[in-house]
Amino acid sequence: MARQRLARTRTAASTDTPAAERPPEVTRTLVAVLALACAVTVANVYLSAPLLGLVSRDLGISADRAGLVTTAGQLGYSLGLLFLLPLSDTVRRRPLLIVLVLGTVSGLAAAAAAPGLPALAAAVLAAGTFTVIPQLLVPVASGLAGPERRGRVVSILQAGVFTGAIAARVVGGAFGEFAGWRPVLAAAAVCTAAVGALTVAMLPRSADIPATTPGVPRPSYPALLASLPGLLRESTLRRSLLFQGAAFGAFNMVWTALVFLLTGSGYGYTTLGASLFGAFGALGIAVAPLAGRAIDRYGPTPVVGLGLAGITIGGALLMTAHAGWPAAAAGIAVLYAGLQAAQVSNQTAVLAARPEAAGRMNTVYMFGTFLAGAAGSGIGAALYEAGGWIAVSGAATATGLAAGLVWTYVVLRAPAGGRGA
């Protein structure tokens, strides 16, 4: 009875809310601009990877030392997730977005002009720290969309994120071969500045102010950081982090080792050819809108299961990649589709669980997922060295299957009325 009274109270409160105070309708133009911003800015995280060979030759350093540039970018992104993203729960989003854009552009410009490895690594570290813009925009768009459209809006922005990650490897590598690594970073700075200015101009005023719980003051910055571990008490966050960590870890195992397979004796591709091969992953991006509509209709849980199934099937297809490039291409496409579906559904569930703490919930979710992906990259490289491609693809398949079994257990244990939640 108490739950029914609480539900009626919430319904009445939402009905009595003045129209001017309700979240505005998210227009297609706004969603398109936010998705573009996600694509352009997330590319900055992955841009250095296809340029490492060029950096190594130009600066006269070894390949392993050049790899420190990519490590610095990933470390910076982790620091940004942990120390900057939580601010979106307590400060105005528009000024925060401006600071993130300016920091990213400055870091990229400094990297393009860096005279040597220490300066380049430091500049890429700074750019990575500030380029958490997509993870600021996704919760903002989710809050604007409301429950009835949240899945579709998050899916479109996530399609932008995945598009940017692929473009960084494919377009960045091709442009770098043609013009050099410095023009690539300079172009990234210009694109980030342009799309950042457009996003700031179009961000609705209602999205500028973080959601709050009535009667509860906004937390201080130290309190924000101190509250992060406690959010893991939320069962939705724990489950979503487990499933997406497994999915992203399995994907990174394959993605890291794929270049070794494609440039090895079996395929004999160049580094550029291996980078372009990643474009097959773009076929999986088409899954995002379908996943979003399914989430809005059936809830995120069934879509998570389909995503984990895609990871498992994609890994199994990749175990046959020695048979020729069609098998490898199909495996990458299915794997990417599974990762897309899992990410959209898991993140939608996390953002809906605690709207007043969406920034911090997203911080814990993305930081944990990023750590799982980093671990997957390390495991993938080690497995390829120890057992070759079959060991890598087999481990990715097993990871997806194990996560799918846990998902099945969770669904079977859930009450019949809550399985779509």
**Whole-number Å distance between alpha carbons of 177 and 22:** 50
Same domain, 279 and 327: yes
Residues 251 and 384 in one domain: yes
SS3 content of the chain, % helix, strand, coil (to 5): 85, 0, 15
pLDDT reported for residue 15: 37
- Average pLDDT of 171-181? 81
Assigned domain for 23 exists: no
The answer on 324 and 250 residing in a single domain is yes
Which one of 178, 195, 227 terminates a domain? 227
Residue 10, pLDDT > 60, answer no
The model carries a pTM of: 0.83
CA distance 99 to 97: 5
Residue 241: CB partners within 8 Å, gap ≥ 6? 346, 364, 365, 368, 369
Tell me if 318 is assigned to some domain.
yes
Q: Quick check: helix, strand or coil at residue 16?
A: helix
Neighbours of 260 (CB within 10 A): 16
pLDDT digits (tens, 9 = 90+) for 69-106: 887 888 899 899 999 999 988 889 999 999 999 999 99
329, pLDDT greater than 60: yes
Nearest to 152 by CA among 306, 353, 290, 343: 290
The first and second tokens of residue 167, run together, are 């473009």
Q: Which pLDDT score, from 0 to 100, does residue 48 have?
A: 83
One domain for residues 183 and 320 = no
Q: Is residue 113 included in any domain, yes or no? A: yes
DSSP string, 338-365: HHHHHHHHHHHHHHHH-GGGHHHHHHHH
Q: Are residues 134 and 201 in the same domain?
A: yes
Out of 169, 201, 227, pick the residue that ends a domain. Answer: 227
For residues 144 and 34, the model is more confident at 34
Q: Which of 173, 203, 227 corresponds to the end of one domain?
A: 227
**pLDDT mean across residues, the chain:** 84
Q: Which amino acid is at 68?
A: L
Return the pLDDT at 2: 42
- On whether residue 324 sits in a domain, the answer given is yes
Whether pLDDT at 20 is above 60: no
Whether residue 135 is predicted with pLDDT greater than 50 in this model: the reply is yes
* Contact (Cβ atoms closer than 8 angstroms) between residue 403 and residue 311: yes
Which pLDDT score, from 0 to 100, does residue 418 have? 52
Please check whether residue 273 lies inside any domain of the structure: yes
Say how far apart CA 11 and CA 212 lie, in whole Å. Answer: 18
What span, in angstroms and rounded, lies between the C-alpha atoms of 286 and 162? 11
**167 and 125 within one domain:** yes
Whether 259 and 205 map to the same domain: the answer is no
Token pair, residue 200, equals 């700031």
pLDDT at 275: 67
Task: Classify residue 2: in a domain, yes or no.
Answer: no
Q: Name 256's Cβ contacts closer than 8 Å, sequence gap at least 6.
A: 376, 377, 380, 381, 384
CATH code assigned at 79: 1.20.1250.20
The answer to whether 363 and 347 have CB atoms below 8 angstroms apart is no
- Region 14-23: mean pLDDT is 41
Over residues 186-244, the pLDDT tens digits come to 999 999 999 999 999 998 887 777 766 565 677 788 888 999 999 999 999 999 999 99
Task: Please check whether residue 110 lies inside any domain of the structure.
Answer: yes
- Give the Cα separation of 343 and 53 in Å (integer): 31
Residues 185 and 271 placed together within one structural domain of the fold: no
Between 244 and 162, residue with greater pLDDT: 244
Residues 201 and 238 placed together within one structural domain of the fold: no
Tell me how many domains the chain contains: 2
Domain extent, residue 124, equals 30-212+220-227
Pair (296, 151) in one structural domain: no
How is residue 157 written in tokens? 């922005």
Between these two residues, 18 and 381, which has the higher pLDDT value?
381
Q: Using the structure block, give the residue that is written with the tokens 């457009």.
A: 198
